[in-house]
Structure 1
Amino acid sequence: MLKSLETQLLDSRWDDTAVRGMCESELLLYRSNILGSDKRVTNYGGGNTSAKVMETDPLTGNKIEVLWVKGSGGDIGSIKMDGFATLYMEKLQALKSLYRGVEFEDEMVAYLPHCTFKLNPRAASIDTPLHAYVPRTHVDHVHADAIIAIAASKNSKQLTQEIFGNRIGWLPWKKPGYELGLWLEKFCLENPGADGVVLESHGLFTWGDTARECYDQTIDVINVATKWLAERSDGVAPFGGPIRDSLSSEQRRGVAARLMPAIRGFVSGNQHMVGHFNDSETVLEFVNARDMEPLAALGTSCPDHFLRTKIRPLVVQFDPAKGNIDDVLTGLPDQVEAYRNDYAAYYERCKHNDSPALRDPNAVVYLIPGVGMITFAKDKATARISGEFYVNAINVMRGASAVSEYQGLPEQEAFDIEYWLLEEAKLQRMPKPKSLAGRVALVTGGAGGIGAATAERYLAEGACVVLADIDKDALKSTRENLSNRYGNDVVRSVFMNVTSEEAVAAAFADASVELGGVDILVSNAGIASSASIEETSLALWNKNMDILSTG
């Protein structure tokens, strides 16, 4: 247990040499980036950071206090200086006189642009009041797995007190917004000696008078929780213990290669989707466990989790001991339809008169016993990140169920986050997808000049590309070049001899595991096969595939 605990604890990434000469806003950026660089601290796009900085007012020339806080939709791990919203603290304080009560709190978001400092175009997020009203200079809000495991436990208030005493407070679940900002201010004023607060089913707030103090506080609080969870759960079988064995790595990929194109066909009705496969040790431990299905059915807790993964996953009825993949594929249409119906019923139960219309009712996360987890989204990066979020949820469920009883958010609360009008407005502001978004193109002869140029054109139009070639060195070079320019998520490569039916089938299987299937075949080096395209690919791509030939 001790060795395992040592690998879980966070090391400080603060480098005094690196920050020498930085101003307060630069220190905020540095702190944000090193916090966001570790997914054990917070997930992609999750959490936010802030600093109250003395600036020169461009109109009066006077020194005034300005809140620098992560802007809407940003990610603290990759944020740059232009990713922060900047707002006059004096005006943020003045907003209190306009607040009409919790039933009107959403209207406060419309006032935030009136508080903007220096006409900064970066939109302020709904979490801005949470940072503004904490009466400390530097504030961190993160979604560390160890903290959410406590926050999502049935007796989270008691556990927080047991672990931290008076050092860290606790607040009951409250949807992020203006009212929660006032709650945090009240807590701070009544508990001036506290270093932070755990928000039930949500995450952690910590603060300090300097950027370094705030960072150290965040890391230490997470480590205290991590150590306590490890000691309390030592000897406890995770998720009730295993009741299934994992297939071999090759067998897992084989099952995924058959499942992913089939699922992709079902979920791509409104727009083409891209898949991601994860068979990490963490995922396998969960999907093979006795309590996997009841825990999965409870749904996720932290709002950031279920906004990415939907409230709960679909558990595919695969039995690794029987290897019943044919039966699973036969029954998959009914499973998918049952999930859609359940999701639509959830929408009907919880919707309000002004709720946005029902969104895509298909699952995002698919759990397969003995095999792993598949996620689907409109692009590869989102599919991968959705999987990362569910891994966070798995870690939370492991910790909470080992020391207490895990609980998801109440259904209505989850719905009110998922179909929040402010969240809908954020979705509507997103840029429209490119013409080939969600499509997957396999380009044979992909390492050659024509193949590489063709692949680049598809990438420019938003497609994912699988480069296939027999020249391994050229294939590696071409992939690296395109990945550097378009991102690792959207470029894959497979070694393929087009004269071998077996090699062609293996290439399509690899493409299916990596991306979910193939829509477009660009044949620069003609595939020789006595079988039809469908037979050659072993039905690993959908019936509407476009087949293009360049020679």
Structure 2
Amino acid sequence: MTSSPEARALLERSNRLGSDPRNTNYAGGNTSAKGVATDPVTGAETELLWVKGSGGDLGTLTEQGLAVLRLDRLRAMTDVYPGVEREDEMVAAFDYCLHGKGGAAPSIDTAMHGLVDAPHVDHLHPDSGIALACAADGEKLTAECFGDTVAWVPWRRPGFQLGLDIAAIKEANPRAIGCVLGGHGITAWGATSEECERNSLHIIRTAEAFLEAHGKADPFGPVLDGYQPLPDDQRQARAAALAPLLRAIASADRPQVGHFCDAPEVLDFLSRAEHPRLAALGTSCPDHFLRTKVRPLVLDLPAAAPLDEAAARLKVLHEEYREEYAAYYRRHAAADSPAMRGADPAVVLIPGVGMFSYGKDKQTARVAGEFYVNAVNVMRGAEAVSSYRPIEESEKFRIEYWELEEAKLRRMPAPRPLAARIALVTGAGSGIGKATARRLAAEGACVVVADLDGANAEAVAKDLGGPDKAVAVTVDVTSEEQIKSAFDAAVLAFGGVDLVVNNAGISISKPLLETTARDWDLQHDIMARGSFLVSREAARVMIGQELGGDIVYIASKNAVFAGPNNIAYSATKADQAHQVRLLAAELGEHGIRVNGVNPDGVVRGSGIFAAGWGARRAATYGIEESELGAFYAQRTILKREVLPEHVANAVFALTGGDLTHTTGLHIPVDAGVAAAFLR
């Protein structure tokens, strides 16, 4: 796809508009530009439309995210348009209007951009614009706010007919710079890219000022006694305590990743008298309820209600939610509707605590929460100047179970093996732990990188892709309090924990007579006691989630092999190895599998070897430390050096979905040490 001045200007405008959340939500809205280019076949001048394609985000839009279409063919579609009852058929025809190779698939809004007679068009979803669009008297308020410079377009589902409607309204209103789309958003146009952007921002900012100037002070009503936000520390602790249960609620149909938000606007909304009524009305803008479902699940108890009472009530509300959602589906589904995708909530609201949102991955969960914050802002604006009136439930269903949306879902790539799973790896700042964290993330897991060295943990988490992929926690595994804090951080970051790798450790290599009681205690505190404490906390979370789980111990060949000058290390590895068997037997009834990996001689990249263990083992064998890896390799059956990645591969083999009926197993990753064969 050849770059053009129009495309470059469009991308710059799109990125500016999309970088400000006041203008549009993530992946919401689309922008376009029209211009002339040379047809590479005929050499003739050809009118083209550059428009943001399906699935892109304005703030990060690149040229490959644009669809490029021939305007003559696109506009000729009006001659064969079969009417609103068959308008979905027009979407497939967009592909026959494309110009050149590459680029994105055209979105449902392509007709709007092509049919509106303006060189540049923006369609956006600003909170202020949607507040007018979703007000009970939105048409009247739009006229009060803008006069005849912004027109009103009654609600219509996005599609070819909406493009025709807007084109006709623009033609009938020559002074208009744009329009408010009932229940949806805004559209603006201009003769130049600069004018179009200026008009979009004028509509958004003018609507903001109008709502501020004419709105009442407390549109959500008075504060309810007992529903005020809890203090910060209590709020975080209660959110962490509820997170496993809430993930179980959101994952009854299929596992979900979670996101927690306690933004001031959410907490204020949940403290007010009108929040139950407004939450029950659901969101309105199609982009909102496609991600948040038609309405959230709302806990109807005060903030300080006893935790067990809140948990019991949430379970009851969940059953009611599922029944109501299934009834909603039955009310509106036709014979050719897609099958119901699941009846669990995507958003759960807890007064005094905040909002939990869920999705197939962290980004989807986070964006669902961001969209509900948008919805709260929309409700506030609409209630401030009128009353909030979203589109009809039947229309919401038509959007949610639109065949075009279903087709988009079918085009998505198959999920990776560990998609929607949340892993916590101890000692993940270097060596085996780092390699394991990297492999689990590559297979689709969200990863909590836990390490005593916080800087190393932060560096690994950043390398794995940042907060939508991995977060870092600093933890000393000898501390019950720090372990509890690490798991709290994990459930607040991703909703829960499904996969724990006990890898943290040190190694003290000394003969028996030189091994002090302190050496023995330190070795056992970090590895035997530490892995016990981590597994205990992991089990609490996993049992609460009701999703099963995996606990993997990085033990050692030394758990079964007796060697010299290694009493403290080998004894604690034997302790860990038996913990695997004991916990496998105990936790199996909860669907939690416990397995181990027995490496040997992992020298390269190892934090333990770099900290002096390597030098001491080399001295024991009478070789140079630099020769240690090769020495270990030569004493194996396969004559191969074991690397951190090989251990990580074994962890994935145990947790990636193929060994679903395996628990209590130890996998040797030692290139073959006959004396360590398991019997």
TM-score tier (shorter): over 0.9
Structure 1: state its 5+ residue gaps. 1-20
Shift, 1:513, TM fit: 1.2
CA distance in 1, matches of 2:45, 2:119: 16
Matched, 1:288 2:292: no
Structure-2 residue corresponding to 1:550: 554
Q: Deviations over 1:464-483 (max 9, x none)?
A: 1111111122222222222x
Residue pairs, 1:353-364, within 5 angstroms: 353-364=335-346
CA distance in 2, matches of 1:527, 1:99: 72
Shift, 1:314, TM fit: 0.3
CA distance in 1, matches of 2:466, 2:40: 39
CA distance in 2, matches of 1:319, 1:325: 11
Q: Secondary structure at the match of 1:458?
A: helix
List, as ranges, runs of 4+ consecutive aligned residues in structure 1 with deviation greater than 3 Å. 529-538
Matched, 1:73 2:55: yes
Name which of structure 1's ranges 349-358 and 270-279 shifts more when overlaid on structure 2.
270-279
The letter of the residue matching 2:502 is S
Shift, 1:104, TM fit: 1.1
Structure-2 residue corresponding to 1:225: 207
Matched, 1:390 2:391: no
Matched, 1:204 2:186: yes
Structure-1 residue corresponding to 2:477: 498
The letter of the residue matching 1:540 is V
The letter of the residue matching 2:112 is L
The letter of the residue matching 2:93 is Y
When residues 521 and 60 of structure 1 are mapped into structure 2, their CA distance, relative to the original with a 3 A threshold, is same
Residue pairs, 1:84-123, within 5 angstroms: 84-123=66-105
Structure-1 residue corresponding to 2:217: 236
Name which of structure 1's ranges 307-316 and 503-512 shifts more when overlaid on structure 2.
503-512
Structure-2 residue corresponding to 1:312: 295
The letter of the residue matching 1:336 is H
CA distance in 1, matches of 2:488, 2:132: 41
In the alignment, is the contact (CA less than 8 A) between 1:45 and 1:74 conserved in 2? yes
Shift, 1:49, TM fit: 0.2
Percent identical among aligned pairs is 47
The letter of the residue matching 1:117 is H
CA distance in 2, matches of 1:266, 1:527: 34
Residue pairs, 1:126-145, within 5 angstroms: 126-145=108-127
Residue pairs, 1:71-470, within 5 angstroms: 71-233=53-215, 236-243=217-224, 244-320=227-303, 322-470=304-452
CA distance in 1, matches of 2:466, 2:97: 36
The letter of the residue matching 1:464 is C
In the alignment, is the contact (CA less than 8 A) between 1:139 and 1:206 conserved in 2? yes
CA distance in 1, matches of 2:65, 2:377: 29
Q: Secondary structure at the match of 1:541?
A: helix
In the alignment, is the contact (CA less than 8 A) between 1:160 and 1:168 conserved in 2? yes
Structure 2: state its 5+ residue gaps. 505-526, 556-679
Structure-2 residue corresponding to 1:508: 487
Structure-1 residue corresponding to 2:516: none
In the alignment, is the contact (CA less than 8 A) between 1:442 and 1:520 conserved in 2? yes
CA distance in 1, matches of 2:271, 2:393: 26
Shift, 1:164, TM fit: 0.3
The letter of the residue matching 1:246 is P
Name which of structure 1's ranges 324-333 and 271-280 shifts more when overlaid on structure 2.
324-333
When residues 89 and 527 of structure 1 are mapped into structure 2, their CA distance, relative to the original with a 3 A threshold, is farther
The letter of the residue matching 2:540 is A
CA distance in 2, matches of 1:532, 1:511: 16
Paired residue for 2:468, among 485, 489, 495? Answer: 489
Name which of structure 1's ranges 70-79 and 268-277 shifts more when overlaid on structure 2.
268-277
When residues 529 and 25 of structure 1 are mapped into structure 2, their CA distance, relative to the original with a 3 A threshold, is closer
Structure-2 residue corresponding to 1:14: none
CA distance in 2, matches of 1:530, 1:498: 7
In the alignment, is the contact (CA less than 8 A) between 1:504 and 1:537 conserved in 2? no
CA distance in 1, matches of 2:533, 2:147: 69
Structure-1 residue corresponding to 2:529: 528
In the alignment, is the contact (CA less than 8 A) between 1:500 and 1:528 conserved in 2? no
Structure-1 residue corresponding to 2:647: none
CA distance in 2, matches of 1:367, 1:473: 34
Q: Secondary structure at the match of 2:99?
A: coil
Shift, 1:88, TM fit: 0.6
Shift, 1:529, TM fit: 5.9
Structure-1 residue corresponding to 2:540: 539
In the alignment, is the contact (CA less than 8 A) between 1:498 and 1:527 conserved in 2? no
Shift, 1:249, TM fit: 1.2
CA distance in 1, matches of 2:367, 2:55: 14
CA distance in 1, matches of 2:271, 2:144: 32
Shift, 1:263, TM fit: 1.7
The letter of the residue matching 1:503 is Q
When residues 264 and 60 of structure 1 are mapped into structure 2, their CA distance, relative to the original with a 3 A threshold, is same
Structure-1 residue corresponding to 2:522: none
When residues 421 and 378 of structure 1 are mapped into structure 2, their CA distance, relative to the original with a 3 A threshold, is same
Q: Deviations over 1:239-260 (max 9, x none)?
A: 1132121101111111111211
Name which of structure 1's ranges 331-340 and 177-186 shifts more when overlaid on structure 2.
331-340
In the alignment, is the contact (CA less than 8 A) between 1:505 and 1:537 conserved in 2? no
The letter of the residue matching 1:510 is A
Name which of structure 1's ranges 467-476 and 418-427 shifts more when overlaid on structure 2.
467-476
The letter of the residue matching 2:358 is F
When residues 451 and 532 of structure 1 are mapped into structure 2, their CA distance, relative to the original with a 3 A threshold, is closer
The TM-score normalised by the length of structure 2 is 0.76
Matched, 1:519 2:498: yes
Q: Deviations over 1:359-407 (max 9, x none)?
A: 1110000111011100011100100000000000000000000110101
CA distance in 1, matches of 2:551, 2:410: 34
In the alignment, is the contact (CA less than 8 A) between 2:502 and 2:531 conserved in 1? no
CA distance in 1, matches of 2:186, 2:327: 33
Shift, 1:449, TM fit: 1.7
Aligned residue pairs, count: 526
Shift, 1:119, TM fit: 3.6
Q: Secondary structure at the match of 2:541?
A: coil
When residues 338 and 388 of structure 1 are mapped into structure 2, their CA distance, relative to the original with a 3 A threshold, is same
The TM-score normalised by the length of structure 1 is 0.93
Q: Secondary structure at the match of 1:494?
A: strand
In the alignment, is the contact (CA less than 8 A) between 2:417 and 2:444 conserved in 1? yes
CA distance in 1, matches of 2:70, 2:24: 27
Shift, 1:487, TM fit: 3.9
Q: Which has the higher contact order (CA 8 A, sep 6+)?
A: 1
Q: Secondary structure at the match of 2:501?
A: strand
CA distance in 1, matches of 2:468, 2:222: 34
Structure-1 residue corresponding to 2:585: none
CA distance in 1, matches of 2:445, 2:319: 28
Q: Secondary structure at the match of 1:206?
A: strand
CA distance in 2, matches of 1:259, 1:67: 50
When residues 527 and 212 of structure 1 are mapped into structure 2, their CA distance, relative to the original with a 3 A threshold, is farther
In the alignment, is the contact (CA less than 8 A) between 1:299 and 1:409 conserved in 2? no
Paired residue for 1:63, among 40, 45, 50? Answer: 45
In the alignment, is the contact (CA less than 8 A) between 2:151 and 2:178 conserved in 1? yes
